[in-house]
Amino acid sequence: MIFGVPKELPPFKGIEEYRVGLSPMGAQELVLCGAKVYVESKAGQAAGFSDADYEKAGATVVYSKEEAYRRAEIVLKVRRPQQDEYPLIKEGQAIMGFIHLITARKEFLKTIADKKITLVGYEIMQKEDGRLPVVIPFSEMAGKLSVQIAGRLLESPRGGRGILLGGIPGIPPAEVVILGGGTLGCNAARTFAGVGANVYVLDIDRNKLDHLACHTASMKVTTMFATRHNIEKIVRFADVVVGAVLVPGKRAPILVTKDMVKTMRRGSVIIDFSIDQGGCVETAKVAPSGKFIYTIHDVIHFCMPNATTLVARTATHALTSSAFPYLKMITELGFERALRESHDLTKGVYADNGEIRKEFLP
């Protein structure tokens, strides 16, 4: 099996991408399994991995993006290919990465069909119990990262409310609202509560709320059902709202409307991690300029579609370790047999030889 690892292109002007589709550790393990790995020069540099690291691992460094694509049977990406990469994709090639097809360009859909591409999305790969094996570590990272982001945006020089998340004796802490009680929401809740903030988590799934309540019993975390009434009521006094909603393969539902945003306090912060799938806040967007921090109705919005790129080395290790068992299976069994025999990989197929599964069409 031959894998190609191109250097990631920025998803939008002004939004850099520092992660890479495979770490040197992963490359070494695949080579030991009998695979060949071609890595574009400097693909891992921004994440702290040099060309020499990949060569030491047994990979071959190539000096153009075209060669990384041309040599590969399977292209390992972090995000779906960008427009400049469409001509580089070979007919019948397989591509694996966080694809988020629901927000893809029509030109990409046409490229999939015309070139008979097989597309595997890490974000929809699913175990039989419903868990998302590659998404989980990224959700954990995003949940913990949300505290760093919120703390900076709340600072006075950034136009924030000028408050400390955890407060101090005699001065109350920040009020943090988290929409979604899954892995991301749970990690965000625990981390915000860990620094002393008052945390409210809303979800429609009673099991998730029960699970979260058990894991935060000694913390200042309140769970609520995500009804429209509750959301309207609670965002009014929120200092921070975190969107942590995920419907695999589908557009995120709008939970916070524009009118709700208007009721929020001046200098409060919205962090919408659902932006990859359209966002769960009506005012959340990625501007054509790539500006992902902006203010609407005096509320600061953070809508970065690749937020874990801020911790690119950790993110690349997480991606490699979670995807590696499947890459090893593909190397040992061949791609088509692995797709047939692995429930998780089968669930992750967006398109098979150019045919896009109907449920994932935008």
In this structure, the answer to whether residues 110 and 248 fall within a common structural domain is no
- In this prediction, residues 79-86 reach a mean pLDDT of 94
Number of independent structural domains in the chain: 2
In this structure, the answer to whether residues 92 and 228 fall within a common structural domain is no
pLDDT at 29: 97
Q: Coil, helix or strand for 328?
A: helix
78/99 Cα distance (integer angstroms) = 8
Residue 114 sits in a domain whose CATH number is 3.40.50.720
The whole domain housing 28 covers 2-131+312-360
- In this prediction, residues 146-175 reach a mean pLDDT of 96
- In this prediction, residues 330-352 reach a mean pLDDT of 95
In this structure, the answer to whether residues 145 and 291 fall within a common structural domain is yes
Contact (Cβ atoms closer than 8 angstroms) between residue 334 and residue 328: no
Q: Active-site residue numbers?
A: 100, 276
- In this prediction, residues 347-358 reach a mean pLDDT of 91
Kindly report the number of other CB atoms within 10 A of residue 13's CB atom. 10
In this structure, the answer to whether residues 223 and 274 fall within a common structural domain is yes
Single-letter residue type at 110: K
pLDDT at residue 113 greater than cutoff 80: yes
pLDDT band at 102 (very low <50, low <70, confident <90, very high): confident
- In this prediction, residues 334-359 reach a mean pLDDT of 92
- Among 291, 309, 327, the domain boundary falls at 309
In this structure, the answer to whether residues 278 and 339 fall within a common structural domain is no
pLDDT, one tens digit per residue, over 6-21 is 999 988 777 889 999 9
pLDDT at 251: 87
Whole-prediction pTM: 0.90
In this structure, the answer to whether residues 146 and 125 fall within a common structural domain is no
In this structure, the answer to whether residues 200 and 97 fall within a common structural domain is no
CA–chain centroid gap for 325, Å, is: 20
In this structure, the answer to whether residues 172 and 90 fall within a common structural domain is no
In this structure, the answer to whether residues 344 and 327 fall within a common structural domain is yes
In this structure, the answer to whether residues 203 and 350 fall within a common structural domain is no
Tokens in use for 259? 């009118």
- Using a pLDDT cut of 70, give the percent of the chain over it: 99
274/280 Cα distance (integer angstroms) = 6
- In this prediction, residues 55-79 reach a mean pLDDT of 97
In this structure, the answer to whether residues 320 and 305 fall within a common structural domain is no
In this structure, the answer to whether residues 281 and 322 fall within a common structural domain is no
